[in-house]
Amino acid sequence: MKKRGNRRLIISLAVVALIYVAGFIVEQTCGSKSMAVTVLQKGAVYALIAVSMNLLNGFTGLFSLGQAGFMLIGAYSYAILTIPMAKRAAVYQYYDGGIVQFTIGMIPALLVAGIVAALFAALIGMPVLRLKGDYLAIATLGFAEIIRAFIQWDAIGPLTNGSNLLKTYPTLKTAMPGNTVLFTFIVVGICIGLILLLINSTYGRAFKAIRDDEIAAEAMGINLFHHKQMAFVISCFFAGIGGALLAMYQGTLQANGFKSAMTYEILLIVVIGGLGSVSGSIIASFLFIACSEWWLRFLDTETMIGDFKVPLLAPGFRMVAFSVVIMVVVLFFRKGIMGDRELWDLGSRRKAKGGSDIK
Amino acid sequence: MFDTLLPYLLAGISVGGQYALIAVGYTLVYGILRLINFAHGDIFTAAGFFMVYLAAALPPALAVPLVIILTVILGFTVERVAYKPLRTAPRMSIMISAIGVSYLLQNLMWYLTGGLARQYPVLPGLGDSIQIGSASTKVVTLVTPVVTVILVVALVLLIKRTKIGMAMRAVSVDFETAQLMGIKINNVISVTFIIGSAMAAIGSMLYFTNYTAVTPTIGAMPGLKAFVAAVFGGIGSIPGAMIGALIIGICENLIKAAGLTMFSDAFTFALLIVVLLVRPTGLFGEKTREKV
Amino acid sequence: MSESKNNDNNVLRLTDITMQFGGVVAINNLSLEVNTGEIVALIGPNGAGKTTAFNCITGVYEPTNGAVYFHGKPIAVNHPQGKMVKQYSGINADKYKDQKAVVYTPDKITHMGIARTFQNIRLFKSQTAFENVLIGTHLRRTSNFLTASFRLNAKEEKAMREKARNLLEIVGLADVGDELATSLPYGKQRRLEIARALATDPTLLLLDEPAAGMNPQETDELGEFIVGIKNKFDLTVFMIEHHMNLVMDISDRIYVLDFGKQIAEGTPDEIQKNPVVIAAYLGVDEE
């Protein structure tokens, strides 16, 4: 039993290493500006964010829609702390160069991004985690909106630059020229690895127990609030790092980009991948980004085949086709790509049971 | 003091009334399906676009009823296609489906309209300016509260006095038992969506007369606010939704008066969170207890 | 029945427990005792308030009035407050006014050593039988989320798994450990729930209709099983049950509840002969 587990671990690690090498090669051969590289970068960032959301929605059964808000906090923390001193006067031109007059390294800033998001999550979690189901969803959604409004508030402009753009912080392109994919993969890989370790520990089992039946979990001596708070804070920690990575990917940052539509998008990724499946979220993220950014692009351009104009193709059709596919998954393939199983568990025990329709 | 606040108060009452008409759709649907119909705000937007296109071709007397009919058809279709197949699924699935529909409708509207803001047509009578005291405003500001109250009263009577209203109340108390008693729940749910969509259509006519640009995502925020209003008033309660919406509309505009426009949206959500924590059942909601 | 008397044998003591939901009185001034090593049954017609009593003991409900003591320590004390002051329709409302109100959440009470099963089986449905029991060991952990994530608790984790495996063996489910809990037949699910409860290291086990839905043979086996685990784990058992054969076979004492009120208490023999009980309960049964 244990030996088989070890072998599976070695195979998994080998596959991961292979993916890293492949990502590296793609970037070296296609160049940093190619569509493939864009998809790999953004897909990886979304994978982290989707997995962090899955930890909450899929594994702990807490229907939270606050992800965009915590990503925003992470992104701003990162950007504010890393904009070079020399550029501050230009970026914070309406606020006399801002009040933060120091910078820290990129990696520490990523960490701080997670920690600040986690701190906010701890504060917000105290009241809202007492709510159940859809009330929790709407309250977290509300908090995300409040955070967005607050960041753009003029009075804290010296810190956040109000509703103006943040820029010139180290981005993927400037900080890791030529190795953007490998860098993103490594950061995202470490984070997802940590989440996996947590999920497979006794705490992960407690989270799943809460998801399956709160009352029974409590009767098993599991402190509901304590565990929900833990899942919430950890999820937001990684959402914060994900937000910072997204800021690195985008190159510039503005609070208005982090609307609830972003949270919905991530939720749909999680659902397509399978609630309660880490590998599902990862696969779905890459698929989602590849389709929306690349593979379905042709749907947006008017095309002539000979004299025949292909009907429907026009700007915006891509997203329509895409949302129809999503609706089909939501309605008819409710378990998503992976259900609650993992890629590396395929072929082992639960497959024989035909899976359970849980959600 | 009062003179400076008057325009804001008027605007608040007016927008509150418009939120109320949207909130009715949320509160009815939630009362029966326990579903936050995230797509409701987009149905409201769709109604706006229907008017933009219909008014260009037809006289208002025809366009207005046609907009209501089209919106109702849209709401009905959404329910049949996206929610009905999930009747026995976990609640989370239906909510995700609602988010999916919202995403689809927004993308579809973007595709069909080219993503540009469209100018809402001026409806005769509603868009004219009038003078109240020291404040100048549009006629719609005064019409909205009247229309809202009339519709809400009519709806309350419908629910209290008619057979279909009784069926709706029965289904909202206990889905399964109502079904066993021979109530055709699918019909009841359809009626709920029809009423909700019609109200949203009327709400959109009033709302867009004030805020004249229609864009594919414009309904999201009023939609969420209307939902907050429904929660605030006690979900399932129609008068509650109206009062909640009026309070939100007025507060929002007073905050604008105080120069904190940035926080007018945030305030709504802060209010929501406070209500959920202090009195989760809202002003007029009823308490339920989970059986162990 | 004086409050100050602290019988060493008392594992569980309820005094004047009243649970009132609005105007509905689910339990009315229920007082009872369960002593160390006993198997005590709580019986009564449907809707008599038996499960509500369990919920008051395990912290799911906060009783309207009265006190619950576990090993002499109060785990729930309350008196009518707010709106209830006027609505309250039980007696002895003033008796607990001067005592400090005590409210524990269900998880705290499980920590103290009371474990329960549920009338309408509540297993973790996406988990295997083994994982279900394993979750029951979580509350005695010494690791935090960091040490657990980084596997610094390998020894503890191993002990947890060992314990879960042993428990499955004891309840006779070792061979189905890897199956989904909800795919098991009914009788096995009930046993699994008991194994899961045992994993929390209780001293008092509350069983809510453990034999519900079982045939006579299964019920007999269950009786032996309950006595067996009681002896093996030095437990005290308090159970709600409708199968009279089972109740009469294994209980040391029986409390009878009707319309929220205790109408009789005694040994199985006494209860069987008690005319009040026969009228309220067994009489109805024989119709």
Probe site for chain A from B96, B116, B261, B265 (most A CB atoms < 10 A): B96
State the helix-helix crossing angle for A202-212 and A180-199, rounded to 10 degrees.
70
Position C286 confidence tier, pLDDT thresholds 50, 70, 90: very low
A210 vs A218, A221, A223, A225, C116, CA distance in Å?
8, 11, 10, 10, 17
Q: Give B227-258 as a DSSP string.
A: HHHHHHH-TT-HHHHHHHHHHHHHHHHHHHHT
Distance from CA of C94 to the nearest CA of A (A): 31
Which residues are C239's β-sheet partners?
A: C41, C207
Query: Is A156 contained in some domain?
Result: yes
Q: How many CB atoms lie within 10 A of CB B179?
A: 15
Residue B289 has pLDDT above 60, yes or no: no
Which uninterrupted H or E stretch holds B259?
A: none
Position C279 confidence tier, pLDDT thresholds 50, 70, 90: confident
What residues in A contact C165, CB-CB < 8 Å? none
Query: Is A266 contained in some domain?
Result: no
We report the CATH number of the domain holding residue A102 as 1.10.3470
Task: Read off the pLDDT of residues B53-86 as tens digits, 9 standing for 90 and up.
Answer: 999 999 988 999 999 999 999 999 999 999 999 9
Specify the pLDDT at position A352.
37
CB-nearest partner of C126 from A198, A349, A356? A356
Query: Is B197 contained in some domain?
Result: yes
Query: Which value, to the nearest 10 degrees, does the dihedral of the CA atoms of residues B188, B194, B200, B204 take?
Result: 180
C16 contacts: CB under 8 Å, gap ≥ 6: C29, C30, C31, C65, C66, C67, C90, C91, C92, C95, C96
Residue C23 has pLDDT above 60, yes or no: yes
Residue B178 has pLDDT above 80, yes or no: yes
Three-state secondary structure call for residue B270: helix
CB A228 within 8 A of CB A209: no
Q: What are the φ/ψ torsions at residue C30 (nearest 5 degrees)?
A: -85, 125
Q: Which listed CATH number (3.40.50.300, 3.60.20.10, 3.20.20.80, 3.30.565.10) goes with C1-112+247-287?
A: 3.40.50.300
Question: B82 vs A322: CB contact, 8 Å cut-off?
Answer: no
Distance separating alpha carbons of residues A241 and A6, to the nearest angstrom: 30
Specify the pLDDT at position C222.
92
Question: A215 vs C122: CB contact, 8 Å cut-off?
Answer: yes
Residue B281 has pLDDT above 90, yes or no: no
Question: C126 vs A208: CB contact, 8 Å cut-off?
Answer: yes
CB B148 within 8 A of CB B242: yes
CB B120 within 8 A of CB B214: yes
Distance separating alpha carbons of residues B257 and A56, to the nearest angstrom: 39
Q: Is B226 on the interface with A (CB under 8 A)?
A: no
Q: Where are the beta strands (DSSP E) in B93-211?
A: 118-119, 129-132, 135-138
A137: closest CA among A129, A126, A127?
A129
Q: Is B163 on the interface with C (CB under 8 A)?
A: no
Residue B135 has pLDDT above 50, yes or no: yes
Query: Which value, to the nearest 10 degrees, does the dihedral of the CA atoms of residues C194, C196, C199, C203 take?
Result: -40
Q: How many CB atoms lie within 10 A of CB A41?
A: 26
Which A residues, 308 through 347, put their C-beta within 8 Å of a C-beta on chain B? 314-317, 319-320, 322-324, 326-327, 330-331, 334
Specify the pLDDT at position B262.
76
Distance from CA of C255 to the nearest CA of A (A): 24
Domain range for B127 is 24-217
CB-nearest partner of A330 from B100, B115, B268? B100
Three-state secondary structure call for residue C250: helix
CB C65 within 8 A of CB C16: yes
Q: Say how many domains are in chain B.
A: 1
Query: Is B168 contained in some domain?
Result: yes
Q: Say how many domains are in chain A.
A: 1
**Chain C contact partners (≥3 CB pairs within 8 A):** A, B
**Three-point CA angle C231, C234, C236, nearest 5°:** 95
Query: Is B250 contained in some domain?
Result: no
Specify the pLDDT at position C167.
96
C-alpha of B2 from chain center: 30
Specify the pLDDT at position C74.
93
C268: closest CA among C255, C253, C283?
C253
Q: Is B292 on the interface with C (CB under 8 A)?
A: yes
Three-state secondary structure call for residue C79: coil
What residues in B contact A327, CB-CB < 8 Å? 82, 97, 100-101, 104
What residues in B contact C60, CB-CB < 8 Å? 292
Query: Is B3 contained in some domain?
Result: no
Domain range for A154 is 2-259
Which uninterrupted H or E stretch holds C31?
A: strand C24-35
State the helix-helix crossing angle for B2-33 and B220-233, rounded to 10 degrees.
80
Specify the pLDDT at position A130.
87
Q: What is the mean pLDDT of each run of 10 residues along chain A (359 residues)?
A: 70 88 88 88 96 96 94 97 92 87 93 97 92 86 90 89 91 87 94 96 96 95 96 97 96 91 92 93 94 83 78 83 89 86 69 37
Q: How many CB atoms lie within 10 A of CB B161?
A: 9
Domain ranges of chain C: 1-112+247-287
Question: C118 vs B289: CB contact, 8 Å cut-off?
Answer: no
Query: Is A282 contained in some domain?
Result: no
CB-nearest partner of B262 from A149, A327, A330? A149
Residue C248 has pLDDT above 90, yes or no: yes
Residue C61 has pLDDT above 50, yes or no: yes
CB A75 within 8 A of CB A113: yes
Q: Is A358 on the interface with C (CB under 8 A)?
A: yes
Distance from CA of B263 to the nearest CA of A (A): 6
B264: closest CA among B228, B212, B288, B290?
B228
Three-state secondary structure call for residue C264: strand
Mean pLDDT of chain C: 90
Alpha-helix residue ranges (DSSP H) falling in chain C: 50-57, 84-87, 106-112, 129-136, 145-149, 154-170, 186-198, 216-232, 244-250, 268-273, 275-277, 283-286
Distance from CA of A268 to the nearest CA of C (A): 22
B98 vs A6, A275, B37, C88, CA distance in Å?
43, 17, 6, 44
